Structure 1
Amino acid sequence: MIKSIPYLGIALGIGSLAGGCSVYPVSQEASGDNTFNIVAKVRCEVRDALRGIVITEAEKYLSDRVYGSESGLELAARLKANPQDFSRLRTELFTPSLRKAIAYYQNSTINYDFTLQGTESNVQGVQGGLIRTLPRDVAVVGFGLEGDRTRDVKRNFEISDHAITLAQKPDEDYCRMVRDVAFIYPMGGQKNIRDLIENFIFLNLDGELEGSTKEPNIRRMGDTILFRTRLTGNLAPGFTFTPPGGALGLSGLSFRNTNFREDYHQVIVTITTSAVGAGKGLSGRGLSGKAPPSDQRREQDGTNSIAVIRAKNLQDAVIQLGDGISRLSR
């Protein structure tokens, strides 16, 4: 029996190889969605929300002409049936009332901050015992060996979209992979970003959303969306032996194989409208007659919106930590 002990190293080595196959845990290994697909799904949700708002606004005009010779209902029906027609819309063909609302959102920027983190841990071990029965006592020797490997990769990046461009592009082929629900890895499914976009725009059009006291001419709203998925698997076979006579032999042997995979996916989405003035302007719907901001100004305001949401998230985390410590001390 004692001669079988060298084989323990072989068994442990095989387990180590099996547990360490992935040395770079990326999202597609677990969820099936790579970075390209995750980004596309988020952008396509925003695109569909923007398109839906254009259709909703057009439908309010009923039989009134709003685009070329088309009424509001006719334009809405055509865009619903043929979404590709959004890429061919021309702002100058809208009637003044609807054109003002659309032009207002030509100043809007959608910004995204993605954090995609994958962590894998593999623990392989073996434990056993040697026993020898003597005339007056029993000698027992225990032994064990364990290996623990953890790999962690965090990918972070920011991108932005010009709202009017995103409403017209990308095309349907780019958005074909969007799924309704992904139960295990929710970042791969719908995230209801439409609610953020719709509330921001309708608050501007109908509720006169105001900027902060420091930046009254900048409207912004943002969501922080976080999904964490952890999967764990265990395998622990064991064997018991009875050594013959009084010889030193193996009395027991057990193996441990524990693996977990955790995916942490976070995206911050902000929508920002720059230099829109304050109070009611054109058509009494919160629109401004000011000249649109430069591309550089619009992009900078969008980037600042991500920084504002990050700072607010950090502030909230500190407050929650303080509340937790306070409760523990009571």
Structure 2
Amino acid sequence: MQRFAWLLIVLILGGCSIYPLPEDYLPSNTDQPYTSDRIAATIRCQTRDAIRAVIRRNIAAVPASYIVYQRMARDEMLAWLDSNSANYRALKWPLFAPELRKPFEFYKDTNISYDFTIDSTEMNTLGLNITLLKALNAGTDTIGLLAKNDRTREASRHFRVFDTFDSLARLMKEEACQNQPQAPNYLFPTAGLLRINTLVDSFLVANQWENLAGDKTDYTTAQMTDTLTFTTKSTGNFDPSTTTNSVVGRFVPSSAGLNVDNFRQDLHTIIILVSLPPTKNGIPQFDEYGRILAPGKAGVRAAASEGLDRQREINTQNALTRLGTGVGRLNVP
């Protein structure tokens, strides 16, 4: 029994992840593990597809005989785009007909920013409980032995990615989106299709027809944000036990139990911020170090990063509000 117990301990200790990461459990449809960079690529590629779908819908909305791009009419243009997704990379916005060029050029610098937080927690408990019992003429002697090992491993990874409509629709390399999921994954949502197209579509509709506002007093940088939180928990238990009768005059293991509990939690929080680029007019902008930001990528990224920070604060406030509401509902005597 002792040899068997020690063998189990060695085997289970070896199975504990020292550095829990998404690729330990996330499924993959290729030979490559589903790492955090692949999670980001999956989200970005789905956003790219949503933007390309908007471009295609706008082209399809014009009359069939209309010359939409260089010398191509509507149907010819759509067939050209559908024949090879890499043709989107050859698009040049100034070559579109004016009715399409204006909205495309207006929205091409729209920011799409992502804030990824990937938390993985693994807990492993191994316990061995043995009771030694000796029968006496007037009673019994009992000795209880307990050995227990608890291990908890946590890893939290946080990073941000900044894109624009143009960088996704035209400039993103096609090979970056190869072997992407084609269906939702209900066990691990970040490894499957998500409804990111609804955020892109809602932002465009709201900004076109509902005068979408920005944050606080800044009404020139209209924005919309989705916060996605996915929690997946996996639990495994193995609790065998055995009992024997006592023997007069000698200690024998009257009962023995092995307790093995394994728990894994993966918490993925993704903030997706869609916003118009900040206006280049008005007062100068400064970064977090007090330096003046010139119009361009630096200013755009600083504004997007600030927007993600504000959304994280809002999420924290909402979480505290839900916690307070839940405590208020408890009937405390």
TM over 0.5: yes
Equivalent-residue separation in structure 1 for 2:209 and 2:70 (angstroms): 25
Return the offset for 1:218.
0.7
Equivalent-residue separation in structure 1 for 2:112 and 2:326 (angstroms): 34
Q: 2:118 aligns with which of 116, 119, 128?
A: 116
1:255 aligned residue: 258
Deviations for 1:277-302, whole angstroms, at most 9, x for unmatched residues?
9xxxxxxxxxxxxxxx5322222221
1:288 aligned residue: none
* Conservation of the 8 A alpha-carbon contact between 2:134 and 2:247: no
Which segment drifts farther, 186-195 or 243-252?
243-252
Return the offset for 1:212.
4.3
Q: The residue matched to 1:173 in structure 2 has which SS?
A: helix
1:17 aligned residue: 13
Amino acid corresponding to residue 150 of structure 1 in structure 2: T
Give the TM-score taking structure 2 as reference length. 0.87
Equivalent-residue separation in structure 1 for 2:100 and 2:279 (angstroms): 17
Q: Judging changes above 3 Å, is the alpha-carbon distance between structure 1 residues 150 and 68 closer, same or farther for their aligned structure 2 residues? A: same
Return the offset for 1:182.
1.5
1:267 aligned residue: 270
Give the TM-score taking structure 1 as reference length. 0.87
Equivalent-residue separation in structure 2 for 1:216 and 1:169 (angstroms): 29
2:26 aligned residue: 31
Deviations for 1:164-191, whole angstroms, at most 9, x for unmatched residues?
0111133333212321121221110111
1:142 aligned residue: 144
Q: 1:97 aligns with which of 86, 90, 99?
A: 99
Return the offset for 1:322.
2.3
Return the offset for 1:237.
1.5
Equivalent-residue separation in structure 2 for 1:151 and 1:275 (angstroms): 42
Structure 1, unmatched stretches of 5+, are 278-292
Amino acid corresponding to residue 139 of structure 1 in structure 2: D
* Conservation of the 8 A alpha-carbon contact between 2:278 and 2:303: no
Q: The residue matched to 1:168 in structure 2 has which SS?
A: helix
Structure 2, unmatched stretches of 5+, are 28-33, 281-294
Return the offset for 1:245.
4.0
Amino acid corresponding to residue 21 of structure 2 in structure 1: V
Q: Is 1:200 the counterpart of 2:206 in the alignment?
A: no
* Conservation of the 8 A alpha-carbon contact between 1:19 and 1:123: no
Equivalent-residue separation in structure 2 for 1:223 and 1:15 (angstroms): 43
Equivalent-residue separation in structure 1 for 2:263 and 2:55 (angstroms): 45
Return the offset for 1:239.
2.0
Return the offset for 1:85.
0.4
Equivalent-residue separation in structure 2 for 1:52 and 1:157 (angstroms): 27
Deviations for 1:116-149, whole angstroms, at most 9, x for unmatched residues?
1111111000111111111111112222111100
1:306 aligned residue: 308
* Conservation of the 8 A alpha-carbon contact between 1:41 and 1:188: yes
Equivalent-residue separation in structure 2 for 1:37 and 1:87 (angstroms): 22
Equivalent-residue separation in structure 2 for 1:263 and 1:213 (angstroms): 34
Deviations for 1:5-55, whole angstroms, at most 9, x for unmatched residues?
x658735642552443x1000000101311121011000011001100001
Q: Which runs of 4+ in 1 moved over 6 A?
A: none
1:162 aligned residue: 164
1:226 aligned residue: 229
Equivalent-residue separation in structure 1 for 2:249 and 2:297 (angstroms): 87
* Conservation of the 8 A alpha-carbon contact between 1:110 and 1:270: yes
Q: The residue matched to 2:159 in structure 1 has which SS?
A: strand
Q: Judging changes above 3 Å, is the alpha-carbon distance between structure 1 residues 226 and 39 closer, same or farther for their aligned structure 2 residues? A: same
Q: Judging changes above 3 Å, is the alpha-carbon distance between structure 1 residues 115 and 275 closer, same or farther for their aligned structure 2 residues? A: closer
Return the offset for 1:259.
0.3
* Conservation of the 8 A alpha-carbon contact between 2:220 and 2:278: yes
Q: Is 1:131 the counterpart of 2:152 in the alignment?
A: no
2:218 aligned residue: 215
Equivalent-residue separation in structure 1 for 2:330 and 2:58 (angstroms): 52
Q: The residue matched to 1:211 in structure 2 has which SS?
A: coil
- CA-based RMSD: 2.2
- Equivalenced residue count is 311
Q: Judging changes above 3 Å, is the alpha-carbon distance between structure 1 residues 60 and 206 closer, same or farther for their aligned structure 2 residues? A: farther
Equivalent-residue separation in structure 2 for 1:51 and 1:276 (angstroms): 25
* Conservation of the 8 A alpha-carbon contact between 2:223 and 2:273: yes
Equivalent-residue separation in structure 2 for 1:150 and 1:213 (angstroms): 42
2:291 aligned residue: none
How many percent identity over aligned positions?
Answer: 28
